[in-house]
Structure 1
Amino acid sequence: MFKTLLKPFARFFEFHARTHYRAERHSMTLAAGIILAAGVGGMVEIAPLFTIDGTVEAAPDMRLYTPLEQAGRDIFIREGCYACHSQMIRTLRDEVDRYGPYSLAVESQYDHPMLWGSKRTGPDLARVGEKYSDDWQVRHLADPRALVPQSVMPQYAFLLDATLDTASLPDRLAALRTVGVPYTDAQIANAASDALGQALPDTDRADGVFARYGDATNVRAFDGRRDRLSEMDALVAYLQILGGLTDLPARTQPPRGQ
């Protein structure tokens, strides 16, 4: 009886083998089959993009990354942090209970590249902004095991002594504008000054940051030092804004536990 059940499968595989063998003997037939398969796969991937306007939510309060936060994002990518930390909370109940409202597409519309990820050696960071103090973030980045003994995260204490490159920030923002991030001419022209101003409260530069990015912008000495702008300032500024570019998820999703 078992052999009887297997006969249809055996015939199918035999037919498939014969067809494949014949195709391999005729290069044009094989090429046509490859083009057909690639075309079907391409349409499956491309077709959903035609409905993208109806898929991405509208968030009128969505703001851009400041130059300092964008520099911190670049450092986050440079150091490979995305390999261990995702930035996408799925709709599963346990994830929502642990991390907060599930991620919306609109929250990543200005991310190039997106850092959703699927590997979580460490926790998801989509809503880590302001969950911990700046001091905690600096100490954790400098010596993770001093705060979390079981952590396997590398140390990033060198970021405290690394001066942030601000000269390239106008070009970085201009490049992002070419792919759809709506930075204004004023934001691009003042990128280097705004990066300094965000880490130097009570200065004229800080006033410029508020004027260009809004009064809710985090302006403070993120690494605790005011003598220079470090890469630690940038990375902490980036971490502290994650989940805070728009409050749409909190407004449209029920509180945890309900």
Structure 2
Amino acid sequence: MFGIHYRLERKSITLVLAIMVVASIGGLIEIAPLFTIDETVETDPNMRVYTPLELAGRNIYIREGCYACHSQMIRTLQDDVDRYGHYSLAVESKYDHPMLWGSKRTGPDLARVGGKYSDAWQVAHLTNPRSVVPQSVMPKYRWLNTTELQTTYLGEHLKAQRDVGVPYTDAMIANAPADAVAQASPDGDTQGLVKRYGPATQVRLFDGDKRTVSEMDALVAYLQVLGKLSKAAQAPEPAGK
């Protein structure tokens, strides 16, 4: 075995050709499945985009490193499905930039946590995790309650998201700061928000405090929509799968 390798090393052209052959085999194995990707990836024409408030919450989720301990990708393993629900589908991450699938599970997977707990539970958990989960090792994020959400640049963020394929309209971009405030202000004017993002848009005091729109509002709004942007996982699977 080593004798063959040593002889190849003495013949550089032969060695280069052998490397090209091996690399081509590996490349073919990786590239070939892409030709059938349209048959394997689900579609959902009714999938909605993140609202500005939810997108701001996602930014906070990334900023605070939540993805380092929580995955957002339920595997097809039976244990995963039994614990977290239907396995994750590619289409459900269609508008995620960056992807937050992850593989670290110091905490549970959050792919379908939306609606699993009340807003009050989420606020209590983020403020002091051990108040609701005594064995939790998660740090406290109580400052989110008192930190006002900065909405000034949300329009620019939506515009950047549109540049990578998220179908935000000009009206969504222009009204992003106002829509973020409106979603956490149920007593305000929310008609424009609902018109732009659809009747499924959750509008309420996510942090329970109507005095200001906080970072807690945004993060809870994001958590409560995880797994709810698409109904593809609820659709029956085609026969033969």
Q: Give your verdict on TM over 0.5.
A: yes
Deviations along 1:139-195, one digit per CA (max 9) or x if unpaired, are 101111111111111111111122212111111111111111111111111111110
Q: Distance in 2 between matches of 1:15 and 1:175?
A: 54
Verify: 1:56 aligned to 2:56, yes or no. Answer: no
Aligned length: 237
Q: Percent identity?
A: 64
Are 2:150 and 1:155 aligned? no
Q: Deviations over 1:107-154 (max 9, x none)?
A: 011111111111111101011001000010011011111111111111
Structure 1 residues 34 and 112: CA distance shift in structure 2, 3 A? farther
Does structure 1 residue 15 correspond to structure 2 residue 4?
Answer: yes
In the TM superposition, residue 197 of structure 1 has moved relative to its aligned partner by 0.6
CA distance 1:178–1:31, change in 2 (3 Å): farther
Equivalent positions of 1:32-111 (< 5 A) are 41-111=26-96
Report the AA paired with residue 22 of structure 1.
R
Structure with greater proportional helix content: 1
Is 2:183 the partner of 1:198?
A: yes
Aligned equivalent of 2:220: 236
- Give the counterpart letter for 1:107 in structure 2: E
**Cα deviation per residue 1:46-93 (whole Å; 9 max; x = unaligned)?**
443343333221213211110111111111111111111111111222
The CA RMSD over aligned residues, in Å, is 2.1
Unpaired stretches in structure 2, ≥5 consecutive residues: none
Amino acid at match of 1:168: Y
- 2:119 corresponds to 1:131: no
**8 A contact 2:8–2:14 mirrored in 1:** no
Contact conserved, 2:149 with 2:214, CA < 8 A, in 1?
A: yes
Quote the Cα distance in structure 1 between the aligned partners of 2:43 and 2:191: 29
Deviant stretches of 4+, over 6 Å: 28-36
- TM-score, normalising length from structure 2? 0.90
In structure 2, the CA distance between the partners of 1:92 and 1:211, relative to structure 1 (3 Å rule), is same
Q: Give the structure-1-normalised TM-score.
A: 0.84
Greater Rg over alpha carbons, structure: 1
Residue identity matched to 2:109: D
